[in-house]
Structure 1
């Protein structure tokens, strides 16, 4: 759904919007997320790169690849939308009162994985190959060394 920029409220983001955004950022558990100002708007960033911004009262702008943006808007047009200004950009807008804290945290985490430097990404240990099970010895088999000793003595 596309909304005209002029029809959106021009009030700055409320404290509740910013608090919800910050709590969702903390809920991800990802390192380096910091609150900052970006174009005079409250924003969450990682190493100076933006993740989500409280654009104005009741609206978040979140970093989002274009294919995902289109899918989100199509799947939940009551939550996610686009404006003329953001058309063709890697950002999706969401109504703050309609997006759940869990969805907001998921979107922030997705943006974090796009923006954060690779050295900050959690290291997932490689799976170890299972060791081969030892071969079972048969009850009738005699150790080779014992056979050799008997042949040397004779």
Structure 2
């Protein structure tokens, strides 16, 4: 199972990323654009996905890993259970969320 430490380490390894609280929990931003946040539960991560179709696909195909709440209806955001992903998948999810939220100028720093 991944931990808050793993999320922090991987998120902060991405270019132009800072940590700043969001809703009172650890949030990770690229040029002040939130791309990931640990929810109040402490073992759930909020990340951005490409669109609502991808979100639906993830939630429907792997409900043990991914879910959503009414708060996120209409937003390309998915919730990830720490216990459902390994380090490699966490890295992929954070990197993709970062890419979706990063300004174009910053994307070049990751070969974007």
- TM-score, structure 2 length as denominator? 0.83
Contact 2:59 2:66 in 1 (8 A): yes
Partner of 2:43: 58
**In structure 1, how many angstroms separate the alpha carbons of the residues matched to 2:6 and 2:81?**
12
> Could you list the runs of 5+ residues in structure 1 that have no partner in the other structure?
1-15, 126-154
**In structure 2, how many angstroms separate the alpha carbons of the residues matched to 1:97 and 1:42?**
18
Shift of 1:18: 2.4
What do the CA deviations read for 1:102-142 (whole angstroms, capped 9, x no partner)? Answer: 111111111111111111122799xxxxxxxxxxxxxxxxx
Residues paired across the two proteins, number:
108
Shift of 1:75: 2.1
Rg larger for? 1
Partner of 1:38: 22
Q: Which runs of 4+ in 1 moved over 6 A?
A: none
**In structure 2, how many angstroms separate the alpha carbons of the residues matched to 1:123 and 1:32?**
9
> Could you list the runs of 5+ residues in structure 2 that have no partner in the other structure?
none
* Partner residue of 1:90 out of 69, 73, 76: 76
Contact 1:24 1:102 in 2 (8 A): no
Higher helix share: 2
